[in-house]
Every structure is written in C-alpha cells, then in structure tokens.
Amino acid sequence: RRRQRYVEKDGKCNVQHGNVRETYRYLTDIFTTLVDLKWRFSLLVFILAYAVTWLFFGLIWWFIAYSRGDLDHLEDHAWTPCVNNLNGFISAFLFSIETETTIGYGHRVITDQCPEGIVLLLLQAILGSMVNAFMVGCMFVKISQPNKRAETLVFSSHAVVSLRDERLCLMFRVGDLRDSHIVEASIRAKLIRSKQTQEGEFIPLDQTDLSVGFETGDDRLFLVSPLIISHEIDERSPFWDVSRQQLEKDDFEIVVILEGMVEATGMTCQARSSYLVDEVLWGHRFTSVLSLEDGFYEVDYGSFHHTFEVPTPSCSARELAAAPA
C-alpha cells in the first residue's frame, strides 16, 4: 500500500490541526496570524483595515457636523462649522481619508471653533499611524519571507545506499540553484516510522535522528556546488541490522531539513524534503555533476538526480562488519 507522507517532496508538512478549542490564542498573536494568512486573505484584511477606519471616522465627522447643526447652515456664510465645506456623509468620508492619509487637498479643513473635532483629529491621526505601522509591517514581513528562496534549494529525488570507504552509507544530494549563497547552512535528517515500546505504547510517528556529521561538523555545509550528504550506517544507526531484503519490506520515511541564512537578506531559510522506502535505492551511487572547465567549475544540474548501480553487498551493516576481511 502507498504510505501517507509526513512531509511532501516540496517540503509541505501533511499535518492539519483539528478540534482546536483555544482559538483565542491566535488573536493574542495577531501579527503572526496575519503574516501566516494566504495572500488573498492578507490583501482582504489590508483593504478592510483601512476602509473600516475611514468609514468609522467619516461617520463620526458626519455625526459631529449633524449634531452641531452645520448641515443646516450650509448657505450661511456667517456660521463657523466644525469642518469647512463638509456638506454630507460623502464629504465627511473624504475628509476622513484626507486626515488619515495626510493628503490635505485644502478644500475641507477643520476650524478652531470645534474642540470635539480637534480631539477627534488627534485620535484619528494617532490611530491612523498605528494602522499604517501594523499593516505595512505585516505586508513587508510577508513579502520578505524567504519561502521562495527555499524553492531554489533542491534535493535529489532518490536516496541511495552503497559502500563508502568500505562502510555502508545512506546518501542523498542537495544543491543550490542560485549564485547567492546560503550562509551557515546546516543539514539534518530524521527517520519517521511507527514504533511500539516495551510497555506496549504505540507511537505512530516516532522521530529518530540520523547522524549526518553532527559530531564531526560535516553537517555544516559550504553549499557552493551540489553536495552528497552521507549517513554512515554504524552500530548507532537505526539501519544497523537492516539488509536489502528487509529494507524493501520496511515502512518508514526519511525527512531531510536544510537551513541557513539568505546571504542577500540575512533571514533564516529552511527547505525540506523526504524519502519513502521505495525512493531509497540500494546499490546505487550518484552521477558526478561537477566538471572543471577553463578557469571555473561547471555544475550540470541535468544529471543532479541521476544514479547508477554499483556492486554493493545485500547484507546488513552488522553482518558486513562481522564478515572476515
């Protein structure tokens, strides 16, 4: 049967949060909630935030003019209104827009005979600045998110198992399609599979670290050209007792995570991918993609995912280590 992926090839996590009762927690961090919204909803909130405040204050400006009797003295030049040339709700709405956006066309202007209007003007100026700071900040953060940068970080379509320095290794390849580099790049790998403890507890998605060089520092990458990441199958590896036949019958997922800082912006970027059992090729090795040209190295990304078969023992790493030399 086809296994349900925990992480898709493009890095999307197949986890949905259902039956969340404490939804008020989203409102306590409204800024992050708005940033995480899809673009169409973010634009809708952006438009509504301004439109609602303009309408709200426009209604108050109209109410002040109505309650003071300014609308009844439109033709009385001796009357001093709260706002000159405000003759209805539409003009009050336009004055609200001019006030909050500091456009100031000069046709409608507040007078010094209206203390309540001066207080309202101060409140709208302060609230308008807060709305501008909040909404522009949300849009700036959303635009500058490094999600698109992660799409130019690529993983090989398959992982391979073969010998390296006479030791069985699980390997996959990573690369960066851009000329600008990922600074302080690091790589991690997780084995995801079901597990039952000795006490009988069933863990459906147990996570186990796969060492890709944390002890030696090999997990920190200088990702200028494609690199082959290797997990040595030793006595600490969960694949220590797994042979080729057992691997084909097993059910697991390997999640790989590449992260670092974008050189151009300094923001943290993370790219993810995963490999199911049928995407792990036993007895294969990656085709070389790097060649030396006249004064530079050239990377052929057309062969990035290509592998070829090599002689590899079908036994487990434990049996290989115990075999006589």
The average pLDDT across 268-276 equals 92
pLDDT tens profile 13-30: 888 777 777 676 777 778
Q: Check whether residue 108 and residue 222 sit in a common domain.
A: no
- Looking at per-residue pLDDT, the higher value among 297 and 147 belongs to 297
Q: Mean pLDDT over residues 214-224, rounded?
A: 90
Q: What is the pLDDT of residue 4?
A: 82
Position 295 pLDDT exceeds 90: no
Q: Is residue 236 part of a domain?
A: yes
Question: In terms of domains, do 161 and 89 share one?
Answer: no
Mean pLDDT of 288-292: 90
pLDDT of residue 257: 95
Tell which of 144, 173, 203 closes a domain. Answer: 144
Whether residue 132 is found in the same domain as residue 170: no
Both 163 and 29 in one domain: the answer is: no
For position 2, what pLDDT does the model report? 60
Confidence of residue 254 (pLDDT cuts 50, 70, 90): very high
Cα 12 to chain centroid, rounded: 9
Q: Are residues 170 and 303 in the same domain?
A: yes
Within a domain: 138: yes
For residue 15, is it within any domain? Answer: no
Considering the chain, what percentage of its residues have pLDDT values greater than 90? 53
Same domain, 219 and 120: no
Are 87 and 101 within one domain? yes
86 and 178 in a single domain? The answer is no
Domain membership flag for residue 14: no
In a domain, 78, yes or no: yes
221 and 167 fall within a common domain = yes
Mean residue pLDDT across the chain:
89
What's the pLDDT at 34? Answer: 85
Owning domain of residue 110 = 23-144
The band of 66, judged by pLDDT with boundaries at 50, 70 and 90, is very high
pLDDT of residue 310: 95
Where a domain ends, among 91, 114, 144?
144
Residues 191, 102: one domain?
no
In-domain check, residue 219: yes
Same domain, 136 and 188: no
- pLDDT score recorded for residue 232: 94
pLDDT of 1 > 60? The answer is no
Q: Is residue 168 part of a domain?
A: yes
Most confident residue range from 22-26, 129-133, 140-144 = 129-133
Picking from 144, 160, 192, the residue at the C-terminal end of a domain is: 144
Average pLDDT over residues 53-77: 91
Residues 266 and 186 grouped into a single domain: yes
What's residue 315's pLDDT? 92
152-161, 192-201, 250-259: least confident range? 192-201
Residue with tokens 């993370």: 270
78-104 average pLDDT score: 90
Max distance between CA atoms of the chain, in angstroms, equals: 112
pTM of the model: 0.76
Total domains, the chain: 2
Please report, for the domain that includes residue 28, its CATH number.
1.10.287.70
Q: Three-state SS across the chain?
A: CCCCCCECCCCCECCCCCCCCCCHHHHHCHHHHHHHCCHHHHHHHHHHHHHHHHHHHHHHHHHHHHHHCHHHCCCCCCCCCCECCCCCHHHHHHHHHHHHHCCCCCCCCECCCCHHHHHHHHHHHHHHHHHHHHHHHHHHHHHCCCHHHHCCEEECCCEEEEEECCEEEEEEEEEECCCCCEEEEEEEEEEEEEEECCCCCEEEEEEEECCCCCCCCCCEECCCCCEEEEEECCCCCCCCCCCHHHHHHCCCEEEEEEEEEECCCCCEEEEEEEEEHHHEEECEEECCCEEECCCCEEECHHHCCCEEECCCCCCCHHHHHHCCC
pLDDT at 240 exceeding the cut of 70: yes
- pLDDT, residue 76, reads 84
Task: Give the mean pLDDT of 64-88.
Answer: 89
What is the DSSP pairing of strand 202-209 with strand 182-196? antiparallel
Q: 70 in a domain, yes or no? A: yes
